[in-house]
Every structure is written in C-alpha cells, then in structure tokens.
Amino acid sequence: MIKKRWSLALATIAAAGLLLSACAPADDSGGDNGGSSGPVTLTYWDFLDPSQDNPRSNALRDNVAAFENANPDIKIDLSVVALGDMISRLPQAAAAGQAPDVFKMFTPQVPQMAAAGAYTPLPADALAVDDWLRPADTLAGPDGQQVAVPYEYRTCALYYNQKILDEIGATQPTTYDEVVDVAAKAAAAGYTGFGTGFSDTDNSAIIATFFDCFMSQVGQDIWNEDGDVDYAGDKANEFGDFLADLRDANALGSSVVSDTYSTVTDGLANGTVAMAVLGTERIVTFGTSNPDIKWADLPTASTGDQTGATFGWTMGIGAGSKKIDAAWKFIDFMTGADAAAGLAGGGEVPTRSSSYDDPYFTSPDADAVNSIAEYVESNSEPHVYQDNWIALATGLSQAGQELYLNGLSGSEFISTAQDAATK
C-alpha cells in the first residue's frame, strides 16, 4: 500500500499543473481530531524519495511504515517535492486552501514560508515538548508563534578524497589557504580541486550553506537589527577571496556556474572532485558510496575558529489543515525516540535528547552518527534567520557567476552579492 501511494504521488509530481490538486488535504470524517471517528489520510511533502536505495531514503521509508503500523487509523500519502518546488508552491497551495497536512522545510527558509502563510501554528502538545537539543522557539512566524520543530541537525564539514590527496602528495588541509594550495595541485593532476556551485537551482543551496557556515566561523552577522542583509566587510571579504583564489588556481570546476549540491556530491562520490564543504548529512552516504571520501572539521580562516552554523530540516503543519492532532502525532513520532534509530541509520542527527536513550546509540552501528552528533554539538551554533534567505542565496549565486566569468575580486563578489540581495 505504501509503495502504491508513493508511486501515485511521484506520477502526480511529474504531471505539470496537477501538483496542487493532487496534494490537497483529503477530506475526512475525523474533523480536527483526525481519527476519533474513522481513518485519516495525511498528505505529506518530503524532498527525499523513499523509493531510492540510499541510507536516508531507506530510513524515511522504514519510519513512515513504522508510524502507520503503530497508528493503523492514520495513513501517510507522501509526495516527493524538491525544495525549490516546495518554496514556490507552498504559498500558492496555502492561499488556495490546498497545503499539505505536514511538510519538511530547511531551517533558513522557515521564516520566509511562515511569512508567506504556509504554516498552521503548532498545537499546545507540540509546544510542551522540552527535550530539543537546541532551542526550537526560533522556528517561528512574524507573529512569534512557533510553526515548526527540528527534524534533524547538521552543520558543514570538509570532505576530501584521500586517494586523490595521496596521489598528489598532499595531506588534509586545516586552513582555507591550505585548501587552495591542495586544490591547485589536484587541479593540475586533472581533478576538480574544490567542488562548489553557483547555480540558483534549489535556492543556491551549496554556496548559501557554505557561506552561512563561514560567516559563523568568522563571527560576522548576516543581517542587521532591521532584518536587512548587511554583511559586507573584511570578514566576509575573506570568503570572497577564498573563491577568487580557487578560481585563479584553476581549482574550480569548469561548470561551476551551473553546478549544484547534487553535482558536487556526485563528483565526490565518483572520484572527480578532490574536496568540498558540504553538510554533515552526507557522511554516511559517502561512507557507503566511496570509502576514499573522508571528512574533517572545517578549515580555519585567518580570523575566527571552526564553529559553523547549525541548521537542518524541520517539520511543520500546513496552513488550513483540518487534521492538527493527527499531523502532530506524525511529527512527534518522526522526531522522537521511535524513529531515532532509523533516522540515525540514514546518517541524520536526531534532535531530541530522549532519542539517544534507544539502545541503538550504544551499538557499533551508531558510531558514525554519534561522531556526527558530537561534531555538530561542538563545532556549530544555531542562529536566527530572517525571511529573506532566498534573496540572500540568489545574490550569492549571481555574484559567484560574475566572479567566475568576469573576474570579480573577492570584495567585489561580496558587495555584488549583498547588493543583489537587497534590491
């Protein structure tokens, strides 16, 4: 039954123009309580495809099945929706009264989706949960009401291909200057020395998350007190200088202007990219797909430390949902101890302290995710995001294209990116 619903959802996504009607919350007789007088079907949007054979997709599939087994009166109708599509469609769906009952959203974009009216405020049972490892009340709308909870935590890490580094006689770099040197050697040997991308696909995810972590490292605020993008200056210029130095060393990919998060992860997995800064959620997947890929702390800049930003995926209830209680029951299960072992098996860090009471986390199988969790705790800090993240991210990708194609300096890249974000 689950596979059938997924296949229907996937077919619906592929059919242009049918997404909103297909994903509209189904009418049910359970009313607001969603289940007291009959079965309930929750519509759920997730960017992961549970039909794929990878650790994170397998974990999602297994946890959804476990929830349905534990709650036979609640069925999950899962639609696979890319983040970029979700960002553009959720406000439209909410305005039309067709938002999904539950959806995932990336932390930096929660305030923007809340301002666009995509969420229903969380019920009292959700607000009573007090074992989040990091504060959750920042996941709020413009009125201050909390609209989402953390599904998993992540931060940035340096990934490198040990086989390539051995080939060029290099060791793991520990500073950004050393990254440029090693990347130049890798490029001279025929590899992409450092993988990143300036495409605005998926809301410029790869350059924006790297920038977020770098600004945390050097202690530079991204927004001013009025919530406007305002980061240009010496600390931010170092990020631009790093990209310019990579360009001048011919260490960026030849298709960097169109490369995306997936392009770079694929390059690492197939052995054509020597290094990249990506999220910690890829650690387990890389361990399966290419054992030559290792990970390490973020390199240090000339100022600051190795402490990046804490972010990740969240779960919230769609605007206008008539199944609030059932929706929260699903979210509570997916973020709680019952789903934690599966989540961790996919390489994602559970967000509630009670999750770690599961015996799984004392087993050797949990060594990888425990090390990731420790790294996230010691090497990252959460911060509040404003409701203009997409403009900020798009500005970075546009400036990156100019840096690569038109030879902008590092400081010109930063000023161009900020100007683009504030237009």
Domain range summary for the chain, segments of one domain joined by +: 2-153+311-381, 156-309+388-421
For the chain, what percent of residues have pLDDT higher than 90? Answer: 79
- Mean pLDDT for 317-334 is 97
User: In this predicted model, which residue has the larger pLDDT, 303 or 165?
Assistant: 165
Query: Residue-wise over 68-95: b if at least 16 C-beta within 10 A, else e?
Result: beebeebbbbbbbbbbbebbebbbebbe
Q: What is the pLDDT of residues 336-352, one digit of tens each?
A: 999 999 999 888 899 99
Q: How confident is the model at residue 84 (pLDDT cuts 50, 70, 90)?
A: confident
**Beta pairing class for 148-150 and 102-106:** unpaired
- Mean pLDDT for 200-219 is 93
Q: Which pLDDT score is estimated for 38?
A: 62
Q: Which pLDDT score is estimated for 345?
A: 84
Cβ atoms within 10 Å of 97's Cβ, excluding its own: 12
| Angle between helices 410-421 and 389-406 in degrees, nearest 10 | 140
Q: How confident is the model at residue 18 (pLDDT cuts 50, 70, 90)?
A: very low
Q: Do domains 2-153+311-381 and 156-309+388-421 have the same CATH topology?
A: yes
3.65.10.10, 3.40.190.10, 3.30.420.280, 3.30.420.40: CATH of 2-153+311-381: 3.40.190.10
Q: Which CATH architecture has domain 156-309+388-421?
A: 3-Layer(aba) Sandwich (3.40)
- Mean pLDDT for 253-269 is 96
The pair of structure tokens assigned to 376 is: 């996230």
Q: Which pLDDT score is estimated for 179?
A: 98
> What pTM, to 2 d.p., does this model score?
0.86
Q: What is the residue-averaged pLDDT of the chain?
A: 90
Q: Which of 257, 330, 277 is nearest to 73 (CA)?
A: 330
Q: What is the pLDDT of residues 89-106, one digit of tens each?
A: 999 999 999 999 999 999
